[in-house]
């Protein structure tokens, strides 16, 4: 009697096993995708920093010095008084209350407006095409890339990365880091 009965479907246990296996495979794919995406973002940021480096070094080769962005924030395109050595690199930074900022750490005195980079970008555009509308990565209220002019002999290009970034492993120098971001940089020479 049992031998003549045909099995025409799956049991509930078999269906549950299939669902669990599909779930495990989906979880593996999602984790792998997130890791690949994060790695690609880090590589894109590093590549963009190197593009800026080449453009600035080309400017220096043609003009004998680094482009010195104007210092007056209201008339010449320089940053605010508390961040007199920071300039935005590029365009397309996120907006806060209608104003785009590349470096917005702390209060208003530490904000560098994207619009203040016009003089610097026009100087660099004389020697090539600056990277445009790159992906912006926001970590702890700071966005990059940023040019930091510490002195005529210490000019740095900063990229803003997730806190787990290995700056040295990417061929960059180690900058500031905390639980929200890592700042890696290239020192121009």
What tokens does 157 get? 């290009």
Cα separation, 180 vs 163, in Å, equals 6
What does the block give as tokens for 151?
Answer: 């002195």
CA neighbor of 160 nearest in space, from 187, 125, 185: 185
**Contact (CB, 8 A) for 182 and 165:** yes
pTM: 0.73
Tens digit of pLDDT at every position of the chain (189 positions): 555 556 678 889 999 999 999 999 999 988 888 778 878 888 888 888 999 999 989 988 998 888 776 554 444 444 444 445 678 888 888 777 888 877 665 555 567 778 778 878 888 888 888 887 666 666 666 777 888 877 777 888 988 888 888 999 999 999 888 888 888 999 987
Q: Which of 86, 101, 99, 103 is nearest to 160 (CA)?
A: 103
Residues in contact with 59: Cβ distance below 8 Å, sequence separation at least 6, in sequence order: 66, 67, 123, 124, 126, 127
């Amino acid at each position: 009697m049992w031998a003549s009965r045909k099995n025409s479907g799956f049991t509930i246990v078999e269906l549950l096993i299939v669902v669990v296996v599909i779930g495990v495979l989906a979880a593996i794919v999602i984790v792998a995708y997130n890791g690949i995406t994060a790695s690609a973002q880090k590589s894109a940021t590093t590549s963009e920093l190197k593009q800026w480096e080449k453009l600035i070094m080309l400017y220096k080769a043609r003009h004998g010095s680094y482009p010195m962005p104007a210092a007056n924030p209201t008339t010449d395109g320089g940053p605010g008084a508390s961040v007199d050595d920071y300039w935005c690199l590029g365009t397309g930074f996120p907006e806060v209350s209608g104003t785009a900022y590349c470096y917005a750490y702390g209060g208003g005195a530490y904000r560098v407006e994207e619009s203040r980079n016009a003089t610097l970008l026009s100087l660099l555009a004389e020697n090539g095409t600056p990277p445009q509308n790159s992906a912006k990565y926001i970590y702890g209220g700071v966005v990059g890339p940023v040019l930091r002019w510490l002195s005529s002999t210490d000019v740095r290009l900063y990229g803003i990365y997730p806190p787990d970034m290995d700056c040295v492993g990417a061929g960059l120098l180690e900058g500031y880091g905390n639980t929200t971001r890592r700042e890696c940089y290239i020192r121009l020479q």
